[in-house]
Amino acid sequence: MGYLSCEGAIFAMKRRRPETEKLIQNSICGYENYKGKIIEKVCCSVFTDMRLDLLPRECGRRYINSVGRGRMTSQYEFPWMALIAYKTDRGISFGCSGTIINIYYLLTAAHCVVWTKSIAGVRVGEHDITRQYDCIWDDSDYNCESHIQDIPVAERVIHKGYSYSTSPVRHDIALLRVADRIQYNYRNVGPICLPVARELRDNGLWGRRGLVAGWGETETGRSTNVLLKVSLPVLTERQCQNKYGRNRYTGRKQLVENKICAGETHVDSCRGDSGGPLMAEDEHMGEYKFVQYGIVSEGPKICGSAQPGLYTDVAKYIDWILDNIKLH
């Protein structure tokens, strides 16, 4: 592709540091005719490492001394969790979730932010949406947190290949750029890590267990005001294909590429968890941190049924994410 089509190349040329000159020269991988002019083509993947400066190195840390019991989360367990607020006839209502990935961007599902939805803004730092102050016992002391950030949305970036007319939904991934910087000054707000390292992208979560967090309904159909979590088994690629390999109505083979299957009977993400993360602790830049591998996309009509839920495979979209975020 040409330089202007590669965000990483633009990023490198703007910096024009001595070490980037050779990188730019080495990226040239051919020529093309553009409006009567011969221009250089670049291999955009060469600039992946350069673009990693767009993501924070300090990420995926939980600011807690102990993990909450069962499905209940602790107040500072997942500081990257965000709520998307929508304008409705009854006022402002929270629906989908998302995750903080840098000071300006949230990662979420495309179906949560399509243009037909009227987004009022996002909220970060929340734990219990019914309380003005979130209070917990911490080291024999009663701690109350009130630093909630409600921020308007400046831009929606929806994957151009997103299609809700197919089953499963294709390219269900989007970014929300907020109008003001997300403040990391408080323990209840911070970014999650993404699987940018080659070994994380190659290995993924297949055959392991992951965590999903959200404010969605429980498997009994009851709504929750408190951030909950659930541990899920992640199927292998072959198991995923076997589960969703054929459409029961048409008999046609379904597409589960760029998807992760996770869940088992009575254990699943539910309505309202859409856009939230499927995550796990992994080694990231020499330390064990939380890494987001999936985005809650779609699942069976009955939460917690034998059919696993489907999650957008974040590792397959790292280049897309890096090409669509900026720090200015």
**Residues labelled as active-site residues:** 111, 172, 274
| One-letter-per-residue 3-state SS of the chain | CCHHHCHHHHHHHHHCCHHHHHHHHHCEEEEEEECCEEEEEECHHHHHHHHHHHCCCCCCCCCCCCCCCCCECCCCCCCCEEEEEEEECCEEEEEEEEEECCCCEEEECHHHCCCCCCEEEEEECCCECCCCCEEEEECCEEEEECCCEEECEEEEEECCCCECCCCCCECCCEEEEECCCCCCCCCCCCCCECCCCHHHHHHCCCCCEEEEEECCCCCCCCCCCECEEEEEEECCHHHHHHHHCECCCCCCECCCCCEEEECECCECCCCCCCCCEEEEEEEECCEEEEEEEEEEEECCCCCCCCCCEEEEEHHHHHHHHHHCCCCC
- Distance (Å, whole) CA 39 – CA 89: 52
Torsion of CA 314, 270, 89, 182, to 10 degrees: -40
Among the listed residues 115, 97, 43, 61, the one whose alpha carbon sits nearest the alpha carbon of residue 319: 43
- Distance (Å, whole) CA 182 – CA 59: 14
